[in-house]
Amino acid sequence: MPTGVHLRDARQQLFDAAERVLMRDGPNGLTSRAVTTEAGCAKGVLHRHFPDFDAFLTDLVLDRAAHLETQAAALRESAGTDTVTANLTTALTTLLGPVPMAIIPLITFRDELRTRLRQAAPGGGIAILAQATAAVSAYLTDERDLGRLAPDTDIDSLTLSLVGGGHLLLTDHDSDSPATADVGRLVTAVMADAVQRRPAQA
């Protein structure tokens, strides 16, 4: 394995390598040696850019969480278009896609990582889930303001049901079953009472 490979944009290449290791080998397989081996560089490269491995993981999680802002913006822009159920189904399958769902157990099982994430950003200790929760809550609020949800809709309860239910569903998702269909059924059930029906035409 080469040890002198020069990495352009080393941080991002190390993040990408870590993501591949995480997706392939899970949280237990994500070590500094596994990351640098995957990136094809010397182990010292990682430590030249980060004080220690938990610092690297903290920046990795925050970087991937920031990527969700694009999906969150797209969800808010969808308010008032298509159907609420369709918009939420698309958003949840993206916000809780394979990479975010692989990062969540990494955060869960590394106490030091959670501590550093909390220090880095408000709600950082549950990064990814925090981003998904904020995105869904903002979207539901917009839809309520547009009159597409009942005016007394409990945004907080619906958000918890959607994100929590989506998380549980996709954690144990059968790869042979389309995720979109399963999430769609969940969203339809959760939103049934809140989606405001159009009044019958006279």
Instruction: Read off the pLDDT band of 202 (50, 70, 90).
Output: very low
2 pLDDT above the threshold of 50: no
Per-residue pLDDT, averaged over 141-162, amounts to 95
Instruction: Read off the pLDDT band of 178 (50, 70, 90).
Output: low
Q: How far is CA 168 from the centre of its chain?
A: 13
Per-residue pLDDT, averaged over 41-61, amounts to 91
22 burial (CB, 10 Å; 0-12 / 13-18 / 19+) is: buried
pLDDT of residue 60: 94
Instruction: Read off the pLDDT band of 196 (50, 70, 90).
Output: low
**The model's pTM:** 0.83
160 vs 109 pLDDT, higher one: 160
CA atoms within 13 A on the CB side of 79: 19
For 79, residues 6+ apart whose C-beta sits below 8 A from its C-beta are 87, 139, 142, 143, 146, 148
Average pLDDT for the chain = 87
Per-residue pLDDT, averaged over 24-34, amounts to 93
37 pLDDT above the threshold of 90: yes
pLDDT of residue 109: 85
| DSSP-assigned letters across all residues of 21-65 | HHHHH-GGG--HHHHHHHHTS-HHHHHHHSSSHHHHHHHHHHHHH
Residue 135 CA to residue 38 CA, distance in Å, equals 33
pLDDT of residue 125: 65
42 vs 159 pLDDT, higher one: 159
1 pLDDT above the threshold of 50: no
Domains along the sequence of the chain with CATH: 1-49 (1.10.10.60), 67-191 (1.10.357)
Take residue 177 and report the two structure tokens written for it. Answer: 């079953």
3 vs 185 pLDDT, higher one: 185
